[in-house]
Structure formats: C-alpha cells, structure tokens
Amino acid sequence: MASGLMQALPPPNAALAEAVRAGGWAEVRTLTATVPRPLSPALALVIARAERTLGEPAHALDLLRPLLPRAGDLAAALRLEGAEASLALGQDPWPYLAPLLSSSSPVAHRRAAAACLHRAWEVLPLSTLRRLPRRSLERPLRRELAVAIAVRGADDAAALHVLAERVNDEATLRAAQWLAGREGLPPSTRLAIADALLAGGAWREAEAVLALLPPPEGATRFRWAFLRGRAAYRLGKLPFAADAFDQALAAATSDQERFEAAVQRARVAEISGDQVRAVGLWDTARAARSREVQGWDGALRLRVALGRASEAVELVRGCPAQVLRVVGPRLAANLLLGHDTARARAVLTRVPAKLPAARAVAVARLAGTGDFKAARSAAASLLADPRAGPWREQVLALLPAGADDAPEAPPTRDVEVLAVIAARRGAAVARVALAAALATDPSWAPVLSGSSPEPPGWTGAAHDLAGVGLEREAAALYPDTFPEASPSELAWSARTLAAWGNGPAALTAGERLWGRLGPLPAVLLPETLLPAILPSELVAACVAAAREQGVPASWLVGIIRQESRFDVDAFSGAGAIGVAQFVPEAARRLGATPAELKDEDRAVHLAACEVARLTKRFGPHLTSVAAAYNAGETVVASWLSQFGDQPEEILLTAALPYGETTGYVLAVQQGALLAAYLK
C-alpha cells in the first residue's frame, strides 16, 4: 500500500492488516484467536479467509452464515468469501452469489460474482451446472454457462446454438475454438465456425478450418471465398487474399455481397500499390451501396493520390448528405496534405460548418494560407466548444508558437477566455492563467500542490476492508463509495483506487475531477493538475515499460487508456484480451499466450515493445504510431504513401479512412496530453 493513502491503524489492527497483506494466514489465525465476539463483518471476513486458506472451509462457512443478515454493505464481500469456501468444499456457490447477480446489484458486485461463477463452472459436476437457473442470469453469463456445459458435455448442438446467436463475445470464441477440433461437421457449419474465429481474432485457426473445406458451389461459394480472403488478409498473405476476394466478387449475387467483396479487394490493391485497380474497386463498392461511406471515401482519396483531384472534387458533389458529413472533411484534409488549398476550400463549403472535423480542417487551411488572425479566431472558437470533443486537443499545434516572453494573463477559469488566450498567446500562458485562478480557490489549491490527504470522517465498507488489509477488495467491490464531495476528495480517491488496483475506477475518478473544471480541453490543463487526474500509481507500469523500451511514457499511457481504460480483464468483441488489447494472433507473433495477456506487467511490456517497433518504422509521430497500433502497420503505411512524408498530425488524423481509427487516434492524443507530466 502506498505511503500516506491510509491513516495509521491502531494496534492490533495494524499487525493484523500487515499479516493479511502479506498473505500470512497462519499469523492472522493467531492474531484473531482471542478477539472477543461478536465479530465485525470485516474482521469475520479475514478470519474466514484464513480458515479457508488453511484448509478449513467448513469453519469459514460456519463463521460467515450467521453474520450475513447483519453485515450491511459488507454482505457482498462476505457472500463472495462464502462462495469461495463452498467451492473449496465442492459445493455449488450459487446460493451465495445469486443476490449479487441481480440487476439491482452494483456493477462491481455482479462482475466479482460472475468471475467466481466462471471458476465454478470449470470444476463443479456437469449435473450441477445443468440445474442452474439460467433464466436468472444476464445474457452474457447465460451464454458462457451454455458454452461451459457444451464443451464439458461434448455437445456439438449446444455449442452451435451459441454460434447461431451471432454475438461477438468470449463465449462465441470459446465455442468456435472447441468446435474447430470436432469431426464430422458439415461444410456450412465449418463456415460458421471460421466466421466466429475470424471475428474473435483467432485468424490462424480460422484459416486452418477453411483450408479443409473444398470449394463449394451455389449460394455458399461467396461466403467461403470471402472468409478465406479475410483470414489471408489478416495474416498478411496479400496475394492469396487478392485471389480469394476476386473469387468472392465473381460469386456475389447481391449488392451487399458485391460491396463487401469490393471493399476488401480494394484494400488489398491499395496495400499492394495498385492504386489504379483500387479506384475501380472502390467505384464498384460505391455503385453497390451508394449510401455507405467506404466506397466514396476510397474513390475520392485515391483520385487525389493519382493526381485526379479535380475529378474527386466534382465527384463529391453527388455524395449523399450523410456520407458527405464523413468523407467531406477527409477529402479536404487530404487535399491540404497535398497543398491544394483552393480545392480544399471548395470541398469545405459543401460540408456543414459545425462539424468538429470540418472546423479543425478549416483552421489548418487558414493557417496554411498565412491568415493567422482568422485561424486564431477559429481555433479559439473550437477550443471553447465542448461539442468539438477531442478535436480541440491538437488545433493549437497549427498556430505559430507564442513568444517565450509573453506576459502572464489575468487569472481566469472561463473556458472562452482561456481559449482566446491560448489561440493568441499560446497554451502555456492559458495554463498559467488557469492555475493562478485555481490557486486562489480553497477547494482546488490542495490538489494543485499535490496534497490530498485521506478525507476526515471517511467511513463505510471500503474503509472497513482497508482497515484489515483488504485494500484491493475495497477498491474492487466498493469503488462507488469512495469520497468525491470536493476536488481534493476526488484526487485522493483517484490515487487510492489506483494504488489499490482498480484502474478503471481510478481513471473515472480522475476524469470526474477534470469535469469539475467545466468543459476544458486537456491541452489547457495546468501540468500540476495532471497527476491528480491521471495518478502516477495508475500509470506506473506504463512508465517502467516505456523507459525500458525508450518510448514516451505519455504515448503508452494514451494507448492503454484508450484500449482498455486500464482494465486488466478487458475483452473486446474482436477477441482482444487484457489491458493492452492484443488479439490471439498478435499474442502469438509477440511470443505470448492469451493467458499472459491478462497479466498487466506482461501486457504493458508487450505494448511498449509494439510502440517502440512502430516508432522505429514511422518515426516520432504519435498519430501514425497510434493509427498503426489500431488499424495495422501495413495499411497505415499505404495511407502514408498517399499523404506524403511527415504530414501535419491533425490533418493526418482528419484524413484517416477508418472512422474507428480516427476516433482512436484522437483519444490517444488526448490521453498523451493528460500524461504530459511524465517527463
């Protein structure tokens, strides 16, 4: 436990708490042997854990049962301990966990109970699992139970039923991986298994399943060819992918199939450097689904790359309004990257002026033409508008730097005034003005000075657990009970939750603290405030890994913040695992097992290695590195070949063809600004 995060505990609790933290359960038994009864719930919990750990789970249950009715908020912690003791006895933990899984229970309690159930489903008799009341489970848990029963019972039909629900989650991936090894399944079922494996990030396993299927005829030929292409594309086998997508395009029987095959084939052509072929394929996609963004975006972008910018500007006139909102700012940014300001302006006049991306690109255009007065005015307007979101964070980089000897501005917390100061005189002057204003506020001054002690009078379940050495459980089970009445309390809670192992809750507390300032962008926050918003205890693993790999710690923090919000148990619908969100194939490439990806230090180390490798390839440019981490380095390299060397970061962000990658990069840039104090 970090020094200063908890007030000193009086004897004998201090010795007991240290024994609990050290896992010295025999010493815990000795220290509590003479404690008078009745026991407090927190003390009963550690005694029960000592009994269970020392091989006496029945004694633990005897201790816990009579306390549950009067345990109050700590009943959840006692129920979880009772569930573990039941499992140690080979008994069903459901009676202890059922109340914690109701929709009215806090999310933290439901999550902890679900984790215990997962362990139970691996060891309890199959007959017990089949008797569980499935209808009382939320859908994700119900699906995971179905897979556990199917796999342990070797029930192909039950596993296939999970796949048939077409939900991209951990249950689907596990069912598909198990079914991939089953024999005697028909080709249509094999295709469904391969589809699920691809969606779950198990690309090599999907390729192996597809390789065993002969070329089908009729309605399934498109799907067979398309899935083979996707697997090959993901594994970097571009010639094979091109051939498979050509087959899919030839077998397509609907506009949707033609669209999907043309989009994928165009991406392969782009990466392979065949831009002329790619333009035609993007046009095919656009003709098949005229209201989808991808065909328009590719057709416009590659026309610019091929020197046909006037054709692109003419083509965009026929773009549907909803599509134009996306592709218009991208096209304008693309044109500006090629220094075609006149055509960029013509495109921007067709796009709704209030769109954040369009406003950012407009500032770039004004700055690029030397109209810095108008650029500063537009930048100030964007900075002050919370509806612009993370687009605000990079706009100041487009303006000339303020003078080093610029006089200080009057103290202020007004976001509109601060935005004008930043646009005219630089972000540093605005930060000083904000810091000066906060320093005069008694509720913010301690935060700026880094002095946020434990709030006096803090009580409750989390406090009681921490008092007996169970800080990690306090943070995991009761994050919503940490104090947040004042900025100082929020800063203490963020730091303490981080030190006690609940990264997502610590991040949320820090962001709530940021929100207390009003709609301020991260770029205007004083550096002395940043450690309170993004505590050093939260980012310690990132700092160590970044130092080892020689990359900026702020970059790695920004990536981990966006990937998982520091959640070591994160699992995405695309099969990405852990705090750094690597898919199984990426783990294999990095020499790690999926289980290792759930270890925070190991996963962060691997992420730092990836950032170092991508930085070596793309240079010290966060936009390119973050985009490659998200979308893949090969595809990002193909985009950069179109946009030119070392493009302006905000213009590159605006020009990125994948909307998901654009949002990802903006979030990473924001996170890096919050971590800017990590020099």
Q: Which of 572, 568, 575, 571 is nearest to 176 (CA)?
A: 575
Report how far Cα 209 is from the mean position of its chain's Cα atoms: 30
**Taking residues 74-87, what's their average pLDDT?**
98
Does residue 18 have a pLDDT over 80? yes
Residue 474 placed within a domain: no
Q: What pLDDT sits at residue 407?
A: 77
The rounded mean pLDDT for the chain is 94
Whether the Cβ atoms of residue 573 and residue 660 lie closer than 8 Å to each other? no
Q: What pLDDT sits at residue 406?
A: 67
Residue 651 placed within a domain: yes
Q: Is the peptide bond before 12 cis (omega within 30 degrees of 0)?
A: yes
Percentage of residues in the chain with pLDDT exceeding 70? 97
Q: What pLDDT sits at residue 3?
A: 36
Q: What pLDDT sits at residue 405?
A: 61
What is the C-alpha to C-alpha distance for residues 545 and 580, in angstroms, rounded to an integer? 12
Does residue 48 have a pLDDT over 60? yes
Instruction: Report residue 679's pLDDT band, with 50, 70 and 90 as the boundaries.
Output: confident
Residue 515 placed within a domain: no
Q: DSSP label at 65?
A: G
184 phi-psi bin (left φ>0, alpha ψ -120 to 50, beta other): left
Question: What is the domain range of residue 568?
Answer: 534-679
Q: Which of 378, 648, 367, 670 is nearest to 524 (CA)?
A: 670
The CATH code of the domain that includes 560 is: 1.10.530.10
Residue 605 placed within a domain: yes
Residue 13 placed within a domain: no
pLDDT, tens digit (0-9, with 9 covering 90-100), for 177-191: 999 999 999 999 999
What is the C-alpha to C-alpha distance for residues 261 and 103, in angstroms, rounded to an integer? 42
pLDDT, tens digit (0-9, with 9 covering 90-100), for 331-364: 999 999 999 999 999 999 999 999 999 999 999 9
Orientation angle between helical segments 75-88 and 41-53, nearest 10 degrees: 10
For residue 643, how many other CB atoms are within 10 A of its CB? Answer: 21
Residue 561 placed within a domain: yes
3-state secondary structure of 599: coil
Written as six digits, the tokens of 17 are: 């708490």
Q: Which of 217, 215, 220, 212 is nearest to 243 (CA)?
A: 215
Residue 558 placed within a domain: yes
Q: What pLDDT sits at residue 173?
A: 95
Instruction: Report residue 519's pLDDT band, with 50, 70 and 90 as the boundaries.
Output: very high
Q: Indicate the residue type of 480.
A: D
Residue 370 placed within a domain: no
Instruction: Tell me which of 402 and 101 has the higher pLDDT.
Output: 101
Q: What are phi and psi of 52, to 5 degrees?
A: -65, -45
pLDDT, tens digit (0-9, with 9 covering 90-100), for 395-430: 999 998 765 566 789 999 999 999 999 999 999 999
Instruction: For Cα atoms 179, 182, 186, give the angle at the middle one, nearest 5 degrees.
Output: 85
Using alpha carbons, list the distances in angstroms from residue 448 to 7, 487, 531: 22, 10, 9
Q: What pLDDT sits at residue 4?
A: 41
Q: What pLDDT sits at residue 219?
A: 87
pLDDT, tens digit (0-9, with 9 covering 90-100), for 544-593: 999 999 999 999 999 999 999 999 999 998 889 999 999 988 888 889 99
Domain count, the chain: 1
